[in-house]
């Protein structure tokens, strides 16, 4: 069960079997159901939320229905010479809609005068005292309500509080899914048990961290462009990496927990329940610095570059927990009969 034979053939490099395990596990990760569900939900749900928040979907549907029905408006003067009317054509039916008279505006100004005044007020920023800065009212109004830091905090918080279940499933099935064949198909090829264990943990953790970073940073740029942009460049990147590290450590805990079970479903179920119990205990019993919900609450401030109290305390707690569970599980995996 040792790697002396493979080490001798590779010129004494003990890291080659470890790299081989990582490469083989990466091919398994990209075909794993939890990886694809996690990636799909993390991409689709923020896009749908933005469309709903900016009223993009209802507007697009209304314009499409109007174009399909062939509705258009034609200005037409009424028979009695009073206010003009608009003829709205909906297929074969026509309806007359009367435009309001100048007296109905309430201030004695006709529509053309009010439109000129509005255009002049938009063109001359600062006339109305609201401090427009070189942009029109349409450009100054964000298409998505809320600030970019708030939206980014919700996005990263979903990875930490919601998609973490799929990260645990991805990690817990690493060893348990191959428990029946690991002694024959892997270890007998010259790969030591510790190399196999560390390779699985490294591959799954790096895959989870890469997924968080790749899916979060582009969305933060979109949030900063479509809403009130208040993100700081380097703090936003560091906060994203911090959340990715937390998710990676939890994934490593799932890999370590999976070494204790012979089936992946049992490993996933027990790991998810254990992490949820610990997380709830940290929310109600532990200091606020170790609470996942408090960590998510500070994410908008961290994205803006505002100093928060102990922003990495949760990462330290999860990293120490992953190291302790990993050492115990590694000892069990090395000395257990496979």
Q: What are phi and psi of 144, to 5 degrees?
A: -125, 125
Where do the structural domains in the chain lie, given as residue ranges?
4-52+144-335, 74-140
Quote the strand ranges of 121-198, DSSP E.
Answer: none
Confidence of residue 8 (pLDDT cuts 50, 70, 90): very low
Segment 38-59, tens digit of pLDDT: 999 988 888 887 776 655 545 5
Burial readout 305-323 (b: 16 or more C-beta within 10 A, e: otherwise)? beebeebbbbbebbbebbe
SS3 assignment, position 258: helix
Confidence of residue 80 (pLDDT cuts 50, 70, 90): low
> What span, in angstroms and rounded, lies between the C-alpha atoms of 49 and 45?
6
> What span, in angstroms and rounded, lies between the C-alpha atoms of 94 and 97?
10
| pLDDT of 136 | 39
Start-to-end CA span in the chain (Å)? 11
Q: Which position has the higher pLDDT, 69 or 4?
A: 69
> What span, in angstroms and rounded, lies between the C-alpha atoms of 289 and 291?
6
Percent helix, strand and coil across the chain, each rounded to 5? 70, 5, 25
> What span, in angstroms and rounded, lies between the C-alpha atoms of 188 and 181?
10
- Return the percentage of the chain with pLDDT > 90, whole number: 34
Residues composing the chain:
338
User: Which residues have a Cβ under 8 Å from the Cβ of 159 and sit 6 or more positions away?
Assistant: 42, 212, 216, 243, 244, 247
Segment 271-294, tens digit of pLDDT: 999 999 999 998 898 888 888 998
Segment 173-208, tens digit of pLDDT: 998 888 777 766 566 667 888 888 999 999 999 999
**Helical spans, DSSP H, in the chain:** 4-9, 15-29, 33-53, 56-69, 111-123, 137-140, 148-161, 164-176, 182-185, 193-226, 233-258, 264-284, 292-297, 299-303, 313-335
> What span, in angstroms and rounded, lies between the C-alpha atoms of 177 and 259?
10
Return the ∠ at Cα 186 (arms to 256 and 325), rounded to 5°.
Answer: 10
Segment 82-138, tens digit of pLDDT: 545 544 454 444 555 455 555 554 454 566 676 676 666 655 544 444 444 443 333
């Amino acid at each position: 069960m040792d790697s002396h034979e493979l080490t001798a053939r590779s010129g004494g490099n003990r890291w080659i079997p470890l790299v081989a395990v990582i490469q083989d596990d990466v091919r398994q990760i990209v075909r794993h159901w939890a990886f694809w569900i996690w990636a799909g939900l993390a991409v689709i749900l923020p896009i749908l939320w933005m469309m709903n928040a900016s009223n993009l979907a209802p507007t697009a549907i209304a314009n499409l229905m109007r174009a399909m029905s062939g509705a258009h408006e034609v200005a037409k003067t009424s028979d009695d010479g009073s206010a003009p009317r608009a003829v709205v054509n909906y297929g074969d039916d026509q309806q007359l809609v009367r435009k309001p008279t100048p007296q109905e505006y309430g201030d004695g100004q006709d529509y053309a005068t009010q439109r000129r005044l509005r255009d002049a007020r938009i063109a001359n920023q600062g006339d109305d005292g609201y401090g427009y800065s070189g942009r029109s009212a349409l450009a100054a109004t964000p298409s998505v309500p809320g600030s970019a830091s708030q939206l980014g905090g919700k996005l990263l918080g979903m990875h930490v509080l919601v998609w973490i279940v799929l990260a645990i499933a991805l990690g817990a099935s690493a060893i348990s899914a191959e428990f029946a064949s690991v002694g024959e198909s892997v270890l007998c090829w010259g790969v030591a048990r510790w190399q196999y264990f560390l390779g699985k943990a490294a591959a799954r953790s790096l895959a989870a961290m890469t997924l968080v970073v790749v899916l979060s940073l582009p969305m933060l740029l979109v949030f900063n462009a479509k809403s009130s942009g208040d993100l700081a460049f380097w703090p936003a990147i560091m906060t994203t990496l911090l959340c990715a590290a937390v998710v990676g450590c939890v994934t490593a805990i799932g890999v370590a927990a999976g070494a204790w079970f012979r089936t992946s479903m049992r490993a996933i179920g027990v790991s998810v329940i254990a992490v949820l119990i610990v997380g709830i205990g940290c929310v109600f019993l532990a200091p606020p610095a170790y609470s996942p919900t408090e960590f998510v609450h500070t994410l908008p401030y961290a994205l803006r570059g505002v100093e928060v109290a102990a922003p990495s305390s949760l990462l330290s707690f999860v990293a120490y927990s992953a190291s302790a569970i990993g050492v115990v599980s590694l000892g069990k995996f090395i000395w257990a009969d496979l």
